Structure 1
């Protein structure tokens, strides 16, 4: 393989052309490295892809759809992807949570409108919303800076401590581990707190999980700062812009090139070997934008890794599996509650208790009877997604990875055609509770069960979309195993660049950017050490 550096060897090989892999590739290309990205699928992007369907003239997103973390990410914003055709679009409202009594909690980009809405749902709740927004205004930017860099974020941690002072820092630490049910009880009198609880459920954090408050708060506050934008024309436009930027700097994406081995010699990653048996050398580094469980003991044999890592990975915990449905609708969803039709995202659950019941069913291995349903109204967010007057709609919910029963019927988790259709009907019934008659508008639907998600993207192991649980026991220095928390691996020149690494899931590119910077630093250290050894040899000679 001929490289731009003239050596015949690329400086770096990156495994996986999802958002983390492509961000890493761009960072390295900006540093002057010759970069090759190997992608198993014929279409790059991982979970950030879009396509035609489920009816003619409709566009659907394969996995991710709304991008608040992308909008907040310095790693992606710094790439200037708008210069490569990326355009963002917003729904009139960010998020809505319809209620059984015909009202709805509505999260707007405008703080005053949101506070007025939650105040109408519970006396004093508008002031509560302003309090948590004021806290965000003080520490949110610092927290994001700390979140997106390798652990520990010493400089940003000091800024946070200085800003809050000792007493307020302790109170913020308590807030950081508070379950969202506790936040609802302490701060709210009405159902406006469901906006925060639903945001927590975007991950696999349930109402009683430690840390669910801060995760829900983060997503909700990002709505005020950035909205929850979508790429015009489909999520794949974000991938297209990343690739065009990379190629403008000489980088290459090899499609349909699955990597089956990271070649390790003398303790250092020096190449990758593809399924076809071809060896692609890497002069400086290999970056793996793939699940930790597939890299360690998979592409890298255990003989190259410490025994403790193998034991730790046996304890690696995945997030729940995901079941997704896309619809083509003749008209927008006829929601009963005002404001819901203007929201890009809709959370469907009757109450916090129903969310807890859903969480308990997942935790005990049962398919949920009344699944919490996250709905995306994509034409509302981006009119280019379907013909005028129609709606491109999707929804997903979680199901257990290991199914022991069905809380709502006789499903076994085989996800046969019958089971797929039956569970899709169950999701539709959830929406019907708040939008009677909407099913009559369906022109076509596409069902994606957990196994199909993994088949389309090997990183979505068992249908997990966050690269491992976001629960606190597998975050920060515990991600992907205790003591790491950084992109460096036990193999020199090999870096973990996927959402299995800190800071985890969502499309922010930080995992890839951190790995790229670690590779740059590691290469400088390796070069300096080699030069020093050379000097010592000459002197000794």
Structure 2
């Protein structure tokens, strides 16, 4: 039997963050990864044409760059270097106008001012509001729920009136928030396009905070990319872990959590081997797979298993990468310098797009999130060319036929051709990832869901993944959830992994260990009895 202090299931970035923090504490750590590659959804590869590097899943990393978790790991010492496109993002309207966010506040203000007099100053005011709370907000977001210490710091800073106003802002839809902050369509769309990086519609409560967060992070930090591709984040995490004695075994899927007397003792892998965990099992896998497939209902409170039936995934994703022999021929050159481009819809168009998804129908005119990778990092393709991707969402379904995917890719390319006529003639290579392809490449992307579960308010904070504590602790002692299915959810920021590692370390402390688990068990009993 193989032994380690901690068994980490999954070498996605959250699993690697957890493994690193446990290794920092002196634990012997073994990571078991089902696929041949580390990184999960943080990987790069040559899939379109020779010399064109693609980030296969995620690309731009404002949350990763700003995250206290990722910064605290010192990954620059392991080769991680960041770079920026000239502009952060541009939202192209159907009529050809463009709203652009640049790290230079004056340039952003000038772009927003074109849509309505005074919107430049209104953007500055919104950014000033963000700067007043950003450091504390990031701590609140990336620590276990409830964020007592960071929450108190934020409350002291804002006082009662400011705290209530912030709470209200966090509950607004992105349409309402944009309408309250701005007069013109450009600034409203800059927020709304950012909010649609999640699975929320412009009308849903809580959507405004995502638009505000991503847009303001773009203003403060930009949306950087790693030099040499997303894989550089993963490689830095792997190198750091191995330097501390951590081990990773690939192509070793876990088939079962070994539980005795309500306590996680280790895991069994698909090849029949048993792995003993002396202190903790940390799982960077989706919540339904962990609890229903790997643990089993025998070890779960009955209400917990029932609640998992109502776990909701975010939407399916279709992602296309292109090798382009030249730069994209944008009608509006304002898009040429942006790493990320939103295109295909104005605000009402975003609502119609989201309505199609909500009613399980295919959007006839999809909204695209597009990345110009060579604009952000020239090492992605030969000089004068572009490695570009775009993705859009579909309803979450069990199956999509190849013909349905081909038809939707054609719609995506038609939207791009509208804004960049002649684009198709420049394409020298293409790769399509359907929802099924995404799940095949990374089993955690169930049905092509990128966020580990919906971002809707009913599955956030203490409601994630099911109504409970909002913490990585589980009903099984010494088993911790470290994936995007845990609070605070999707994004490459490492918080679920860090929270799980810290919970394991707290549980293991001699003086607090028994009392800690008794508290957790009592809370689970109260919730799920």
User: So what's the TM-score if we normalise by structure 1?
Assistant: 0.93
**Deviation of residue 527 (structure 1)?**
7.8
Residues 122 and 180 of structure 1, relative CA distance in 2, 3 Å threshold = same
Aligned equivalent of 2:354, options 332, 355, 359 = 359
The answer to whether the 8 Å contact 1:347/1:375 transfers is yes
Instruction: Quote the residue 2:477 is aligned against.
Output: 492
Instruction: Quote the residue 2:489 is aligned against.
Output: 504
Instruction: Quote the residue 1:63 is aligned against.
Output: 57
The answer to whether the 8 Å contact 1:415/1:449 transfers is no
The answer to whether the 8 Å contact 2:397/2:447 transfers is no
User: Structure 1, residues 191-247: CA drift from partner, whole Å, max 9, x if none?
Assistant: 221110000000112100111111111001111222111111111111011000000
Indicate whether 1:253 and 2:238 are aligned. Answer: no
Instruction: Quote the residue 1:21 is aligned against.
Output: 15
Provide the C-alpha distance between the structure 2 equivalents of 1:74 and 1:14, rounded to a whole number of angstroms: 22
The answer to whether the 8 Å contact 1:46/1:457 transfers is yes
Instruction: Quote the residue 1:171 is aligned against.
Output: 165
Instruction: Quote the residue 2:175 is aligned against.
Output: 181
Aligned equivalent of 2:413, options 420, 424, 428 = 428
Aligned equivalent of 1:241, options 236, 239, 249 = 236
Provide the C-alpha distance between the structure 2 equivalents of 1:525 and 1:288, rounded to a whole number of angstroms: 23
Aligned equivalent of 2:392, options 391, 397, 417 = 397
Instruction: Quote the residue 1:522 is aligned against.
Output: 507
Instruction: Quote the residue 1:96 is aligned against.
Output: 90
Alignment of 1:289-328 (within 5 A): 289-328=284-323
Instruction: Quote the residue 1:139 is aligned against.
Output: 133
Provide the C-alpha distance between the structure 2 equivalents of 1:385 and 1:338, rounded to a whole number of angstroms: 21
The answer to whether the 8 Å contact 1:53/1:328 transfers is no
The answer to whether the 8 Å contact 2:96/2:331 transfers is yes
Indicate whether 1:35 and 2:35 are aligned. Answer: no
**Deviation of residue 528 (structure 1)?**
5.8
Instruction: Quote the residue 1:477 is aligned against.
Output: 462
The answer to whether the 8 Å contact 2:126/2:181 transfers is no
Provide the C-alpha distance between the structure 2 equivalents of 1:303 and 1:414, rounded to a whole number of angstroms: 34
Provide the C-alpha distance between the structure 1 equivalents of 2:118 and 2:94, rounded to a whole number of angstroms: 21
**Deviation of residue 526 (structure 1)?**
7.4
**Deviation of residue 156 (structure 1)?**
1.6
Q: What secondary structure is seen at the aligned counterpart in 1 of 2:204?
A: coil
Instruction: Quote the residue 2:431 is aligned against.
Output: 446
Indicate whether 1:348 and 2:333 are aligned. Answer: no
The answer to whether the 8 Å contact 2:507/2:513 transfers is no
Provide the C-alpha distance between the structure 2 equivalents of 1:527 and 1:170, rounded to a whole number of angstroms: 35
The answer to whether the 8 Å contact 2:316/2:397 transfers is no
Q: What secondary structure is seen at the aligned counterpart in 2 of 1:339?
A: helix
Provide the C-alpha distance between the structure 1 equivalents of 2:361 and 2:469, rounded to a whole number of angstroms: 33
**Deviation of residue 185 (structure 1)?**
2.1
Instruction: Quote the residue 1:113 is aligned against.
Output: 107
Aligned equivalent of 2:422, options 434, 437, 442 = 437
Instruction: Quote the residue 1:196 is aligned against.
Output: 191
Long gaps (5+) in structure 2: 516-529
**Deviation of residue 182 (structure 1)?**
0.9
The answer to whether the 8 Å contact 1:181/1:207 transfers is yes
Number of positions where the alignment pairs a residue of Structure 1 with one of Structure 2: 514
User: Structure 1, residues 239-279: CA drift from partner, whole Å, max 9, x if none?
Assistant: 01100000000001101100010100111101110000000
